[in-house]
Amino acid sequence: MSSPINAVVAMDWGGTWIRVAVVDRGGSVIWENRVPSPKGGTQSQLLDAAGAVLAHGFEHGKPLGLGGLGIAIAGPVDADTGMMFHPPNLPSLDGISVKTYFETELGCTAWIGNDANLAALGEFRYGAGKDAREQGRPSTTLAYVTVSTGIGGGVVDRGRMFLGVNGLATEVGHMSIDGSREATPCPCGSRGCLEALASGASIARIARERVAQLPAPTSALSATDRESITSEVVFQEAAAGDPLAQDIVEDVLQALGVGLTNILHLYNPDLVVLGGACPLDWSSWNCCRGFTKS
């Protein structure tokens, strides 16, 4: 007789962190941990880092009876084959089936999907979508946008994820916002993408470049070690009244406003959810009033 299944291991693999949790049938987190995603890491370094923390998760989950592994990963991925397609924030994983790799390494069934797509589904079933249903205004089409190391998105229409032919749809971070020849390069290889203008990594990069161009240390940002400037630092200085930081934030909000407007026209959602690790104060955006923040 097979052992009862009472838990699963879940991994959220982004450009900055690899997070792993053991979750029981009721949705309670039994164990969790996170490790840095090796910056600029080789394929082996990335897989080894993820494999090590997953191994700890399986150690904690096996006594409960594990049903398998669920992976939410940053970047374009075919949910059926687990094949990665030029992931901008995990470039060394291009062309590898993460699903097949971990099924072989761990001897379990693995399910995989783009992190933003799965976040959209989670919001629809258990988050903002559930709240809307309980308030008597159920959502037909939910659009989710995450602003973190990169920018991703997902759309759930009538309870189903909108995935496209190979599961690569709704890569909203790579819509073109700036079509000029001088537009900022994006890790995807294009220029002027929303991610290149407004993601957490891009905000930090833009701030460092702007500080380097200052003729004199006239900004509070210039008093910070350049390599220590993060998106959080930029928003903190903007809130404190630093003109350069405020100028950078205004450009970020402008780009995100254009991106969100495009999403409204493309998908006609009745519920938009904004989330991610980038320290944005959504309530301060005129363009985002009435949206839901996860």
pLDDT at 4: 84
Cite the DSSP H helix spans in the chain: 43-61, 98-106, 115-126, 128-134, 194-198, 200-212, 231-239, 243-267
pLDDT at 166: 81
- pLDDT digits over 149-199, tens only? 899 999 999 999 999 888 889 999 999 999 999 999 998 889 999 999 999
Instruction: State the chain's mean pLDDT as an integer.
Output: 90
- pLDDT digits over 206-245, tens only? 999 999 888 777 788 887 888 889 999 999 999 999 999 9
| Lowest-pLDDT range of 60-69, 94-103, 187-196, 273-282 | 273-282
* Average pLDDT over every residue of 260-283: 84
Strand partners, 152: 146
Q: What angle is formed at CA 31 by the lines to CA 25 and CA 37, rounded to 5 degrees?
A: 115
- Band of pLDDT at residue 287, cut at 50, 70 and 90: very low
Q: Which residues of 258-272 are buried (b: 16+ CB within 10 A; e: fewer)?
A: bbbeebeeebebebb
In this model, does residue 280 exceed pLDDT 70?
A: no
Contact 120, 143 (CB under 8 A): yes
pLDDT at 276: 82
- pLDDT digits over 81-92, tens only? 999 999 988 999
* Average pLDDT over every residue of 58-71: 94
Return the biggest CA–CA distance within the chain: 74
- The 8 Å CB, 24+ separation contacts for 178-184 are 178/255
pLDDT at 202: 95
pLDDT at 285: 46
